[in-house]
Amino acid sequence: MATIEEPRALDEQKLMQFVFRAVDEVGATLNAALVVMGDKLGLYRALADGGPLAPEELAARTGTAERYVREWLNAQAAGGYVEYEPESGVYELAPEQAVALTDETSAAYLPGFFQMAVGSVIDSPRITETARSGAGLGWHEHVHDVHEGCERFFRPGYNAHLVANWLPALEGVVEKLERGARVADVGCGHGASTILMATAFPSSSFVGSDYHAGSIDTARERAQNAGVADRVQFEASPASAHPGSGYDLVTMFDCLHDMGDPVGAARKMRELLAPDGTWMIVEPAAGDRVEDNLNPVGRAYYGFSTLLCTPASLSQEVGLALGAQAGEARIREVVETAGFTRFRRVAETPFNLVFEARP
């Protein structure tokens, strides 16, 4: 006879601990929108430039309504994003907060991360419906904050590491780029990575591609403004149709896991390369096991993977849906299945893993 287990007694203390943790989560969710608000209205910048300010002073400097600014400042102070001085009634940014919230040249710059998160939440009702059917939602179908936020989040990291660390970690690649190499930047989005490489290596030529035509329009404008349009070409095309061949270097930045058929894309990268060429793959930082990723970075990336990466892959043919937390072993499997004979991790940051693949 089967025994009937008594239900576990409810631990009221654990229940309330969870409830208050959830309250903190709700505050964090709302704060994401408040960070984007502060960024777009110039509130953080004014605080960083103006020192301690009263709400009416901050409102005057930014051309905003004092009553909104006062409430925004109190929410920021409650979350530890600004510091409040009760005696004088002023608010200020600590130097570390100012760097993270206003310095676009810093690898610690965060507003783009929040902007991408808010855009993902805006689109979440549509993702909820696709989860019922198993269908996907293409990158091009998301709101603008997703596209712009993604570039604004990843660009500071690329600025800090791509030319200084990642490219030098590849065997013989910097020497080729200095002499004059042909480079394909596949899945280039707004072209931040392409333009950065073109600026650093004026003797080389670059072809960036992305299936999202709106992103390519932005990339062309950015290249013109950066003064590199003479050696950078942008094409609106999927990875499977990237033009040309015989490239010395092919790059993919944080996009292989988004593709419906990453193995097919990897085979195409092999076709694009010269016999002695190199494929550099930059992917989100992740361990190979779920338990390796149960940390703050993994939590954020699993969230983005649910709302952005997995739907994007499922909207395409094959729909393998590697997810943002694929990890090195899954990426290696994709690369080696496509026929590459050499694969190694060459660099990493708290947010990215960088791999080198050779034919």
Q: Give me the domains of the chain, ranges plus CATH numbers.
A: 12-103 (1.10.10.10), 115-358 (3.40.50.150)
Average pLDDT over residues 191-210: 97
- Residue that the structure tokens 């990493």 belong to: 348
**Which amino acid would we find at residue 192?**
A
Per-residue pLDDT at 9 = 85
Asked whether residue 2 carries a pLDDT value surpassing 60, the answer given is no
Per-residue pLDDT at 116 = 97
Asked whether residue 4 carries a pLDDT value surpassing 70, the answer given is no
Q: What gap in Å lies between CA 37 and CA 43, rounded to an integer?
A: 8
Per-residue pLDDT at 175 = 98
φ and ψ of 43, to 5 deg? -70, -45
For the entire predicted model, the pTM comes to: 0.92
Average pLDDT, the chain: 95
Q: pLDDT tens for residues 62-108?
A: 999 999 999 999 999 999 999 999 999 999 999 999 999 999 999 99
Per-residue pLDDT at 7 = 76
Per-residue pLDDT at 51 = 84
**345: β partners:** 355
Strands 83-85 and 90-92: antiparallel
Q: How many C-beta atoms surround the C-beta of residue 25 within 10 A?
A: 10
Per-residue pLDDT at 100 = 97
Asked whether residue 1 carries a pLDDT value surpassing 70, the answer given is no
Average pLDDT over residues 204-227: 96
Which residues neighbour 353 within 8 Å (Cβ) at sequence distance 6 or greater?
282, 283, 284, 285, 286, 328, 331, 345, 347
